[in-house]
Amino acid sequence: MRKYASLVILMLLVNLNYSCSKKQKQETLKVSSFNKIGIIHNQFLTNIKNNFEIDENIAHEQDKIDFINQFNVDFANSLNLTGKEKRLLIEGLSNNKNFIKQSYLIDYAFHNYSQLTVDTTENYNIFQIIENLKNDGLIGTKSYYILTTLAEQLQNHYEGEISDSELKLTVQQLVEEFNSSGYDINGEGEMVASILAIATYSLEWWEDNQTTEGAASRLFAVPAWAGADIVGGIISGAVAASGQAILNGEVDWRIVAWAAAGGAINSSTGAVGKILK
């Protein structure tokens, strides 16, 4: 009888361990876990396209940036988000509002890799920012590869060396690599996945919105660079992660994900930045 009871207990323990192992194996991040951020990003773009009205009375560049950012903040407040999500998104928007000016964003991202120059506090570009994340131990080899590959292809796209479809294919391939890499929940993968989700949804939006009509067409008189929001997402997410590590000694990656969203959204409105001229 004792042997029988022991056998039953042993079988229960084996099943329990198997179930736990299976559950742990399933609980890894996928880019689709962050579709919500990608969808929200596109909602901002559509709102800008359909509802933004230029105020001709605003003369100074920084005032224009503040006006456009406030338009985005007001829209953020209208979204069906939790209080924390809304707060983090608005912080991301406000902390990266200068990315609304597309020329500033591009200078920031690619200086030292082109003839562009920008006056930044740290004098880092997008590649050095990613490198610092790796050197500081905040991201591993796989994240470094994904972000660096994406940044390189974004630069190539900006310089006209690859097409929209080639950039889209790169994003799709990186999404597949991410999904098969087994990223743990609550880790660096939250930042990387959010950036890839933004990239996926952003490229789809720009593909579907090649032309505009009505008053909004003034904003898109010069075609916006579709990769701007992805660049903004990488930079704002990476900077937020580094800042948290310095201030707190650890990183809340969910906060970083929403910071990436805010930076990407304001970079998306680089089309609106044409009025800053």
What's the angle, vertex CA 231, arms to CA 230 and CA 236, rounded to 5? Answer: 100
What per-residue confidence (pLDDT) applies to 269? Answer: 80
| Predicted model pTM | 0.83
| Highest mean pLDDT, choosing among 101-115, 149-163, 199-213 | 149-163
For residues 74-106, one letter each, b for 16 or more C-beta atoms within 10 angstroms of the residue's C-beta and e for the rest, the string is: ebbeeeebeeebbebbbebbbbbbbbbbbebbb
Instruction: Transcribe 119-156 into DSSP letters.
Output: --SS---HHHHHHHHHHTTSS-HHHHHHHHHHHHHHHH
Question: Which residues lie across from 222 on neighbouring strands?
Answer: none
Given a cut of 70, whether residue 2 has pLDDT beyond it is: no
Given a cut of 70, whether residue 181 has pLDDT beyond it is: yes
What per-residue confidence (pLDDT) applies to 194? Answer: 96
Find the mean pLDDT for residues 163-170: 92
Residue type, 241: A
CA atoms within 13 A on the CB side of 47: 20
What per-residue confidence (pLDDT) applies to 9? Answer: 55
Residue range 50-88, pLDDT digits in tens = 888 888 888 888 998 999 999 999 999 999 999 999 999
Residue range 132-159, pLDDT digits in tens = 999 999 999 999 999 999 999 999 999 8
Q: Per-domain residue ranges for the chain?
A: 31-276
When pLDDT is cut at 50, 70 and 90, the band that residue 230 belongs to is very high
Percent of the chain predicted with pLDDT > 70: 78
- Strand, coil or helix: what is 63? helix
Given a cut of 80, whether residue 163 has pLDDT beyond it is: yes
> How many other C-beta atoms lie within 10 A of the C-beta of residue 15?
10
Given a cut of 90, whether residue 193 has pLDDT beyond it is: yes
Select the more confidently predicted residue: 265 or 248. 265
CA dist 249 and 255 (Å) reads 15
Residue range 34-54, pLDDT digits in tens = 999 999 999 999 998 888 888
